Structure 1
Amino acid sequence: MTGPEPFGTRLRRAMDTRGPLCVGIDPHASLLHAWGLDDDVAGLERFSRTVVEALADRAAVLKPQAAFYERFGSRGVAVLEQTVAEARAAGALVVMDAKRGDIGSTMDAYAAAFLHPDSPLFSDALTVSPYLGFGALDPAVEAATAAGAGLFVLALTSNPEGSEVQRAVRADGSTVAATVLRHLAERNAGAAPLGSFGAVVGATLGDLSAFDLAVNGPLLAPGIGAQGARPADLPAVFGPAVRNVVPSVSRGVLRHGPGVGGLRDSAARFADEVRAAVA
């Protein structure tokens, strides 16, 4: 009996048919207020449902940021569960932006929370941190593989502080980021049309030709829009790997709410610009 269809296969199809774009769902207080909503659970639910209504039937990927839900406690997590379920039911792939990373039984528990099909938070992919050692992610790798889900591993993030760890040089002369990318390439070896284990690589970082981004997996690229990167910048940043880039935009789309039409038009413009840039 064959297992579930791998995340990489589903992501490639979604990007090819819906456009190569991920829209973040980041309901921070200032954005709720900009939409005329209160910074409470009711505002959180209204915001999330509006984004799902506007985009889940047309965007390739939606990426809720777990922290903005967790700050409201159990009621906020309930809204997150609802958001994930409704987005997936409408056809979007959901990447849970939770950046989990730990060891042993704790990593097992994180994997069960986000990558087990019976979990109310089950997502198509999860962002994870490798900085307790890449091997510590094995429980998440195994859970994702069994469920047909994926991982996006922090590799070259856009925040300035990230370089002190990610570009640190190991005893063998390679950088930490290069080591993370190598591990990903090993786990994606032989996968077609695309592996399920991707890297998070900032779109604002400029020339990355010093790094081998050919990991045969997706590259989640935050920084498009409000952070300053443009779709036209992607080829210069990602080089030959640009076709596997999943550009992520949050405020650049969300600021056009709360109207459904404004959200849809903005997301469509970004998707068209990305298509033109990576063609």
Structure 2
Amino acid sequence: MTEVTPFGERLEAVFAAYGKLCVGIDPHAGLLEQWGLPDSAEGVREFGLRVVDAAAGRTGIVKPQVAFFERHGAVGYAVLERIMAEARDAGLLVIADVKRGDIGTSVEAYGQAWLRPGSSLEADAMTISAYQGLGSIEGVLTAAEAAGKGLFVLAATSNPEAAAIQRAVLQQSSRAGSTVAQAITSGVIAWNHGRADAANHPLGSVGVVLGATIDLRTSGIDLDTDPPKPGLPVLAPGFGHQGGELSELRAIYGSLAAGVIVSESRSLLGVGPDALAEAITRRVDEVGAASV
């Protein structure tokens, strides 16, 4: 059996080589128009390939937002397959932003679609929802580990309407008294810690999504104790266009700052195709300075 390299190990190598910027691939209608492209599968394909070309060799991670491909139906998915394959061939880690969630064989099928080696939609990691309980995604966690893939579990997102659920306090569970966001984050940390070779890797292969524009302590996230071992990957949307400031990265994420992936889309893509490569290079440097 071929030995696989854990996602956390590959992510750590990307951090060392290219830094912690993740470029979103979000071909929504407004950006397509701004780029002079049609709002069609053909326009989405051109947009995505240009983003991959600009990102390759300058940063190490891209994150296609699947919804903007899915709205074009089957042909949109065909375009997405092409773009993800091109990105992975270019040496980029690909996080499929799909936010899938379900139970049993249904959620396991989502994992097979996005993480199974050889799948036409194969990514290096995917975003996933566990609001039916962290145990509901155990099958995907196990399959991802076996394939050397990663997961980013939604924990505390930036949209204000999520606060009522994510800050709700659990009444009946092994984590009673914790907020939903805290329970998910703690559960992911425990999963990473429980891997057989955890001590040999600086980063775990399962991370969480924690928005940069909210007070994570209010959501119950512990930012003041020693960093978890192995480190917790944190997919951090909210910088740039949404108002998160890189200068506040360490204040926002506290002891989790070392694992933060700065995810930006519109603030970069909005400069247009001709200036995108330069904007990525500049932002990589700014993220690097903020992460020191």
Structure 1: gaps spanning 5 or more residues: none
| Counterpart selection for 1:239 from 233, 238, 254 | 254
SS at match of 2:241: coil
Please report the RMSD computed on the Cα atoms of aligned residues, expressed in angstroms: 1.4
Paired position in structure 1 for 2:285: 272
Q: Which residue of 2 aligns with 1:44?
A: 44
Q: Give the unaligned 5+ runs of structure 2.
A: none
TM superposition shift of 1:207: 5.5
Tell whether the 8 Å contact from 1:208 to 1:237 is kept in structure 2 after alignment.
no
CA distance in structure 2 between the partners assigned to 1:272 and 1:206 by the alignment: 26
SS at match of 2:36: coil
Task: Indicate if the aligned counterparts of 1:41 and 1:76 stay in contact, CA closer than 8 A.
Answer: yes
Deviation at 1:56, TM superposition (A): 2.5
For these two proteins, the number of residue pairs brought into alignment is: 277
CA distance in 2 between counterparts of 1:120 and 1:149 reads 15
User: d(CA) in 2 for partners of 1:140 and 1:194?
Assistant: 19
Q: Give the equivalent residue in structure 2 for 1:257.
A: 272
State how far apart, in whole Å, the 2-side matches of 1:135 and 1:166 are: 17
Match of 1:142, SS state, is: helix
The question of whether the paired residues in 2 share the 8 Å contact of 1:158 and 1:202 is answered with yes
Percent of aligned pairs with the same residue? 49
Partners of 1:130 and 1:80 lie apart in 2 by 25
Match of 1:174 among 159, 178, 201: 178
Runs (4 or more) in structure 1 with deviation over 4 Å come to none
Aligned to 2:143: 143
Q: Is the CA contact 1:168–1:175 (under 8 Å) kept in the aligned structure 2?
A: yes
Residue of 179, 199, 202 corresponding to 1:193: 202
What is the aligned partner in structure 1 of residue 187 from structure 2?
183
Whole-angstrom CA distance in 2 between matches of 1:108 and 1:202: 26
| Post-superposition offset of 1:234 | 0.5
1:56 touches 1:62 (CA, 8 Å); kept in 2?
Answer: no
- 2:269 counterpart letter in structure 1: L
In structure 2, the partner of 1:133 is: 133
Partner of 1:162: 162
Instruction: Using the TM superposition, give the Cα deviation of residue 57 of structure 1 relative to its aligned residue in structure 2, in angstroms.
Output: 2.9
The CA deviation at 1:58 is 2.4
* Matched-pair contact (CA < 8 Å) for 1:232–1:273: no
Quote the offset at 1:23 in angstroms: 0.7
Q: CA deviation at 1:206?
A: 3.7
Q: TM-score, normalised by structure 2?
A: 0.92
